[in-house]
Chains A and B, each alone.
Chain A
Amino acid sequence: MIPIAHVLALSVALFVIGAAGFVFRKNIITVFMCIELMLNAVNLAFIGFSRYLGNLDGHLFVFFVIVVAAAEASVGLAIIIALNRNRDSLNIDDLDSMKM
């Protein structure tokens, strides 16, 4: 029905767009959202393959990905709030204290 190649092509496209945003955007929250976009792309790939192979395990993977993404988002945003409180900046380039 829906060709698997097209599903994967969509997945890849979303992933690359997300990566582009990660590399090129400055605002932390935007970058975070791009990460979520990449996760979703991966989810789509899982579902596509699950349909293609007739195996339900892919759905379970997606389930867990969503759960972990939720946890990650909450903790991540909390960190961003704390950072903003200390640095008063949402610019990712300002967060470079972990350098050599």
Chain B
Amino acid sequence: METLLILMLLPPLAGAAVNGVLGRRLPQAAISLIGCGAAGFSMLFALLCAWTYSISAAQPAPFIHSYFTWIEAGSLRADYALYYDRLTLVMTVTVTVVAFLIHLYSRGYMQHEGGYYRFFTYLNLFLFMMLTLVTAANYPLMFVGWEGVGLCSYLLIGFYFRRPAAADAGKKAFIVTRIGDAGFAVGVALLFWTFGSLNFQETFGRIIALPAGEMQGTMTAVGLLLFLGAVGKSAQIPLYVWLPDAMEGPTPVSALIHAATMVTAGVYLVARSSPIYSHAPQALQVVAVIGCVTAFFAATIALTQNDLKRMLAYSTISQLGYMFIGCGVGAFAAGIFHLMTHACFKSLLFLAAGSVMHALDGELDMRKMGGLRRKMKTTFLTFFIATLAISGVPGLSGFFSKDEILAGAYEGPLGQPWLYWLGAFTAGLTALYMFRGLFLTFFGKSRLTPDLEHHVHESGSKMTVPLLVLALFSIVAGDVSWPKAFGGSESFDRYLEPVFKPSEDSLRAFAPSAAHGPGSDALMIFALLFAGLGILVAYWFYLRSTRLPALLAERFSLLYNTLLHKYYVDEFYDWLIVRPLRVGSEKLLWQECDVGAIDGVMVNGTAKLVDDAGGFLRRIQSGNIRSYASWVLLGATVWLAYVLWPR
């Protein structure tokens, strides 16, 4: 089993190394063979690991293996050790399958872009880092993966580095997530200080053994700090501002990193650290509230965006909010379930958008699209399926996962009604903006420019095959867990029970009187109502009375403009943080400290001091003999006095 794990991790790393070093001289076919092959082998071994683990006698206990000692400093000991349990299984399978499909898609998409080998190098490296993140058995190793995916994100966002916007977006992503990473690091340090170990097995074991409510202060602090890291990486309020700008990167990057995998690392962190959160209900409350508010907030912005990819980016932020709602109310399994389904349909949405972009020679403004369903049948079909999934239409995967989260929001250990209502309303908004996107892009009269009209065509099979596979997953991924209402057994929840049960039990101690609401059937119906309403509104606005949106925008122009400009948050951050930092750095740190103090006082000042002292002392050597004689006399007198002085 341990070899299988390593074999899962190794191909992407090797692929990145080979493509990175030799790629420049290799033909495209070789590069994509190495890149996709690495991803493919990784997926294969991930599935093998899953199978081996599932039939092994020890499961559901986690499989932990330490390969070699990595850090041994004082009392801190962090090995290169991998941890495999059911949660890891879910994550690795999701990540590798989606990554493999996206690698295949990139073969077609990136064919005519420059830097083909660079792309696959970074993509493989990313896969390796992400797998390290989810299989790590201690926080330091996880942090390595965490930082690694951040690095690859930066490299891939700024892939077209000659474009200033892309370079800036890369920097923005890295710097904003850094704030979160600082929180992560401090949280880990605090954890180490409290427990003396950063090993999952040891630390979590000790925490679970504590009686409920014990060490609440420390646990809350750690929980909040780790969540800060998650906020940065998973683009929640207030650190979400980098994700929309990250759309400057190539579309496969947006699909893989900013929809399916890296941004979900935050959710994984919270889920993995569930024992810590089980003793810190206030921290979980914060998680749920931020998740819910972010979901709503991002959905409102998505309503007005005209750029297809940006709309999808805000949609990702919103859906990530849902996952955090799930974790925040104690329904960790629901959050992970949504992570899995979201990976399928969101990456599909992005890849389909990429297909559209490809056909329209880079055009992304939905106002300039329309009627594409006639010309790009496969893309339209898959996009439509994904839209149904994300809107929570029954039968597709998104419905199951979203429903579980909303149920947990109402009835979970820390659930509260208002979370449910806002979440359900946001589901309606989700359906609205997604169908808006669908209608604007694929329906109605064509608003394309004349030369594009002739150019538009369906993408090649290299791109459409992955689309179709992902569409299939988007449909069936939910079948792993039919809700009770349909007579199902909620088997996903049950499946992850060994991982999360201890934490959920500890949490129940804090919420003895969970709100007993109308029952899960009614909850589901309400959510469906909201979603249906959203679809209807979208149909009316964008297919029937197509002038209505513009009229409304004029009527409520203040609201419209605020949403269009994303609540002016970027401008606010610029005023609050970026501007003062820049001025401070230039005026203060550069001028005063560097030039003034260091150059002036320390470097030049010392030299001047020595120079002046020398100049002063030089005057003793005057050449005047009488002066010399006087000095000798002085010396003799002083010395004599010293010697003769009575002790």
A/B: CB atoms within 8 Å of each other: yes
Hey, what's the 0/1 contact readout for A83-100 against B, CB within 8 Å counting as 1? 000000000110111111
* Interface: A46 (CB within 8 A): no
Q: Which residues of A contact B623 (CB under 8 A)?
A: 95-99
Once the chains bind, are A93 and B624 in contact (CB under 8 Å)? yes
Residues of A within 8 A of B626 (CB): 22-24, 92-93
B622 sits at the interface (CB 8 A): yes
Q: Does B55 contact A (CB under 8 A)?
A: no
Decide: A99 and B630 in contact? CB cutoff 8 A. no
Is the pair B630, A96 in contact by a Cβ cutoff of 8 Å? Answer: no
Complex: A98 Cα to B620 Cα, angstroms: 12
User: In whole Å, how far is A44's beta carbon from the nearest beta carbon of chain B?
Assistant: 19
B202 to chain A, nearest CB (A): 72
**B625 to chain A: which residues have CB within 8 Å?**
31, 92, 95-96
Which of A31, A92, A96 lies in contact with B622, CB distance below 8 A? A96
When A23-B626, A93-B626 are in contact, do A100 and B621 touch as well, CB less than 8 Å?
yes
Chain B interface size, under 10 / 10 to 19 / 20 to 34 / 35 or more? 10 to 19
Complex interface: chain A residues within 8 A of B630 (CB)? 23
A19 contacts B622, CB within 8 Å? Answer: no
Interchain CA distance A97-B625 in the complex, whole Å: 11
Q: Is the CB of A99 within 8 A of B621?
A: yes
Q: Is B629 an interface residue (CB 8 A)?
A: yes
Set of chain B residues within 8 Å of A97, measured between Cβ atoms: 623
Task: Evaluate contact between B621 and A19: CB separation under 8 angstroms.
Answer: no
In the complex, which of the residues B621, B625, B630, B633 has the most CB atoms of chain A within 10 Å of its own CB atom?
A: B625
In residues 63-116 of chain B, which contact A (Cβ within 8 Å)?
Answer: none
What's the least CB distance linking B586 to chain A, in Å? Answer: 45
Closest partner residue, chain A, to B633 (CB atom): A19
Beta-carbon contacts under 8 Å, B604-647 to A = 618-619, 621-626, 629-630, 633
Given contacts A23-B626, A92-B625, A93-B624, whether A100 and B633 have CB atoms under 8 Å apart is: no
User: With a CB–CB cut-off of 8 A, which chain B residues contact A95?
Assistant: 623, 625
- Determine whether the beta carbon of B629 is less than 8 Å from that of A23: yes
Docked pose: A95 CA to B625 CA in angstroms: 8
Tell me the A residues contacting B by CB distance below 8 Å.
Answer: 19, 22-24, 31, 92-93, 95-100
23 A-B contact pairs sorted by A residue (CB < 8 Å): A19-B629, A22-B626, A22-B629, A23-B626, A23-B629, A23-B633, A24-B626, A92-B625, A93-B624, A95-B625, A96-B622, A96-B624, A96-B625, A97-B623, A98-B621, A98-B623, A99-B621, A99-B622, A99-B623, A99-B624, A100-B618, A100-B619, A100-B621
Q: Apart from A97-B623, A100-B619, what are 4 other A-B pairs with CB-CB below 8 Å? A: A24-B626, A92-B626, A95-B625, A100-B618
**Closest CB pairs A-B (n = 9):** A96-B623, A99-B623, A100-B621, A100-B618, A98-B623, A96-B624, A99-B622, A23-B629, A22-B629
